């Protein structure tokens, strides 16, 4: 029952994480008002409205380069620059700090906008009222970029190391794998991508007991992983990538015993497959990927194997 509980838990996790991907992100606005100048006489005129902003991006809550307080200070610096206070009798009033959060998977975008009204002081008895100037606004938030989808096929060999346990020796012949892959990415999120595959893997194992033939096992593994990865440019035409994540599927077993086994000579059936995958490799241009990685199994069955893959993207 334990393996079925793992399967149910992983399936629920994949479904929930997939449903979250329908949304492009959630934006929350918070306003804080602060009056910096007290105006008690009619010796001023509001001449324009100004804004300044600062932006940071966090991966898994890490990064950004500045604290929230530092971002507010940077946004205020940009706002004061647009206000044109130097060399003039001006001040900024009704300052507002607006915070915007945008969440896409494990990427958090934070933007601070500091705004205010610029007033210029003058002597009504001897000076003309200041001339209004054009207001300065920050760039509007760009609409979320569409998700880019890359499809492809992948194939290669599946390798398992030979093992010995007690008087049993397990010889693993090279197997093969074939898959259909999908990769998703957003142009405004550098390096990050996510994806999934439909993998078919054939494994072939011969077992001896006390150096005598014991059984021959041929298994077909059908799996669907949920992968998250990073791609970094290496030179002009190459990208290095790493990807990994949980996987769930089923193993179709076909085990044939030698005549030394008296109870029955053949066993077949299916068992759930739960594990994890981790791969790394190089992508050449837009179409070809060469990768190597490993697949770990969780449970009572030993179906770990190493994969060497050549993929074509289209």
User: For position 271, which CATH number holds?
Assistant: 2.40.160.20
Q: What's the pLDDT at 64? A: 62
Q: What's the pLDDT at 258? A: 76
Q: Both 112 and 204 in a single domain?
A: no
Q: Both 173 and 308 in a single domain?
A: yes
Residue 183 has pLDDT above 70, yes or no: yes
Instruction: Convert the pLDDT of each residue in 136-162 to its tens digit.
Output: 999 887 777 789 999 999 999 999 988
CA 256 centroid distance within chain: 43
User: Which pLDDT band holds residue 305 (cuts at 50, 70, 90)?
Assistant: very high
Q: What's the pLDDT at 91? A: 93
* Between 213 and 310, residue with greater pLDDT: 310
Q: Does residue 308 form part of some domain?
A: yes
User: Which pLDDT band holds residue 309 (cuts at 50, 70, 90)?
Assistant: very high
Q: What is the mean pLDDT of the chain?
A: 83
Give the percent of the chain with pLDDT over 70: 82
User: Which pLDDT band holds residue 194 (cuts at 50, 70, 90)?
Assistant: very high
Q: Does residue 8 form part of some domain?
A: no
Supply the range of the domain harboring residue 302: 146-313
CA 247 centroid distance within chain: 16
Q: What's the pLDDT at 70? A: 86
3-class SS of residue 21: coil
Q: Both 207 and 169 in a single domain?
A: yes
Cα–Cα dist 294/222, whole Å? 16
CA 45 centroid distance within chain: 50
Pairing of strands 90-104, 27-34: antiparallel
Mean pLDDT of 260-270: 66
Stretch among 63-77, 81-95, 275-289 having the lowest mean pLDDT: 63-77
Q: Both 94 and 185 in a single domain?
A: no
Beta strands in 126-189 (DSSP E): 148-159, 163-165, 168-185
Q: What's the pLDDT at 1? A: 42
Picking from 225, 145, 142, the residue whose alpha carbon sits closest to that of residue 185 is 145
Q: What's the pLDDT at 236? A: 87
What is the 8-class DSSP label of residue 88? S
Cβ atoms of 55 and 68 within 8 Å: the answer is no
Q: Both 78 and 220 in a single domain?
A: no
Cα–Cα dist 100/87, whole Å? 33
* Between 235 and 61, residue with greater pLDDT: 235
CATH number for position 76 = 3.30.110.70
Cβ atoms of 176 and 202 within 8 Å: the answer is yes
Q: Both 186 and 150 in a single domain?
A: yes
Residue 97 has pLDDT above 80, yes or no: yes
Cβ atoms of 236 and 283 within 8 Å: the answer is no
* Between 17 and 183, residue with greater pLDDT: 183
Q: Both 272 and 154 in a single domain?
A: yes
Q: What's the pLDDT at 19? A: 35
Residue 10 has pLDDT above 60, yes or no: no
Count: domains in the chain: 2
Q: What's the pLDDT at 256? A: 84
């Amino acid at each position: 029952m334990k393996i079925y509980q793992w399967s149910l838990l992983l399936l629920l996790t994949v479904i929930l994480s997939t449903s979250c991907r329908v949304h492009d992100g959630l934006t929350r606005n918070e306003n804080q008002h602060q009056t910096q100048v007290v105006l008690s006489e009619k010796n001023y005129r509001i001449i324009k409205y100004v804004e300044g902003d600062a932006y940071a991006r966090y991966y898994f809550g890490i990064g950004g380069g500045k604290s929230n307080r530092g971002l507010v200070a940077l946004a205020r610096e940009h706002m004061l620059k647009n206000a044109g206070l130097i060399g003039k009798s001006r001040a900024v009033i009704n300052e507002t700090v607006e915070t915007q959060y945008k969440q896409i998977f494990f990427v958090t975008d934070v933007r601070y906008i500091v705004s205010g009204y610029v007033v210029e002081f003058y002597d009504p008895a001897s000076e003309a009222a200041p001339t209004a100037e054009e207001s300065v606004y920050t760039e509007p938030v760009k609409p979320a970029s569409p998700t880019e989808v890359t499809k492809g096929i992948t194939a290669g060999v599946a390798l398992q190391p030979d093992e010995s346990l007690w008087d049993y020796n397990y010889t693993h012949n090279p197997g093969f794998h074939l898959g259909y892959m999908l990769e998703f990415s957003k142009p405004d999120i550098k390096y990050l991508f996510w994806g999934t595959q439909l993998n078919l893997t054939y494994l072939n194992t011969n077992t001896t007991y006390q150096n005598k033939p014991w059984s021959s096992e041929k298994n077909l593994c059908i799996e669907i992983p949920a992968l998250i990865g990073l791609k970094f440019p290496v030179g002009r035409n190459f990208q290095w990538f790493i990807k990994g994540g949980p996987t769930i599927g089923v193993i179709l077993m076909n085990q044939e015993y030698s005549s030394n086994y008296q109870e029955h000579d053949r066993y077949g059936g299916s068992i759930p497959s739960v594990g994890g995958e981790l791969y790394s490799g190089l992508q050449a241009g837009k179409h070809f990927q060469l990768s190597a990685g490993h697949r770990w199994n969780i449970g009572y069955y030993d179906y770990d194997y190493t994969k060497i893959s050549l993929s074509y993207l289209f």
